[in-house]
Structure 1
Amino acid sequence: MTSPQDAPRDLPWSQAQWLNPPQDTATDGTDLLVTARAGSDFWRTTSYGFVRDDGHALLTGFPPGTAVEVGFRADFTELYDQAGALVRVDASTWIKAGVEVSDGHPQLGAVVTHGTSDWSLAPVPEWAGHEVTIRVSRSGDAVTVRARRAAEPWRMVRLSYLDPAAEASAGLFCCSPERDGLTVRFTRLATGPADTSLH
């Protein structure tokens, strides 16, 4: 991980750009409230047979040697409610990682897409209603995904390939595949140097 002097610096919401603007946004103090459109999602083909590329993401540059952190409250109640961090090259090359409701509980997971999507999950029912931070770090040919609740220790979520020559962006995302009215409270978008080690 990075050293304290290299801690990520908060990025004003206005310095990032929307991919697929959401139904609504508002600020509450320093927090950003994002209301997702019903049916929004990111997914490509695997098992379900459909392509969705209309989830909402607020993105900034993500060159090699950098990291992005996204903070949000995991206040989700309905199937597939989700939020976290998105790394995007194009419509068929991206990574999303965060908290999603599945099997009746919050799950910490990641979807990695290189033409088609895969999906991995781990239950985190104790994270419900708490602030969660997702960290994506890009170094060499890899993106390392970590997550934590509040100030707890970081948990390793995923190590995924990303072409070191690819031009990518990263930032917050949310989706509401099954319903209308999901509003996510994002508390932080920050950028900084990549992690110095995997472990």
Structure 2
Amino acid sequence: MANVWAQPHQQYTTPDALWQREWFSAKYAPPLPTALHEWKHAGKIGFSKLFQMIMLENPPIWLPEVAINAVLPMPISTTRRLTRGFNQCDELIDVLVKQYGWRVLPNQAIFRQHKAAQSTLNKAQRINNIHDSFQIKYDVRGLNILIIDDILTTGATLTELTRSLKNAGANHIYIWVVARR
């Protein structure tokens, strides 16, 4: 698996990002794409341990510098959760919370409308598809929130969630993903 580990300093800066900092823990290179797909879409929950390990072994270098008040696994729609049987980002959070002692925002804190899967769309379609998909149902005013996700592709979903959180009063948003495409 050594070929999937990212090099030191996986700090990436997305142009015009609404979030403060982002980090990816591994390269999006074989065999990682296949494993992520099998985990997320074929229900091979055993891959959770691999991705947890990747994140634990390669945390953001900026993590000690930021004050995280709450962690948010990327929300999925109720329909998608029922179809998959799980939210893969909830699986990532479990081990990270034990390691860092963070407070996790409750599952019902963010409502995500069910829409076409982002993975089936191009960048322009993703931006349009995800627009106004998140409803913040929790008081996030003044919080510094770390969003945990499996993969950052175009950034459309993370941008829309960040926008929604900031509109609801969140202070700073940080992003940590397993891999960045």
What TM-score bracket applies, with the shorter chain setting the length?
Answer: under 0.3
What TM-score do you get using the length of structure 2 for normalisation?
0.27
Which structure would you say has the larger RCO, counting Cα contacts within 8 Å and 6 or more residues apart? 1
Structure with higher helix content: 2
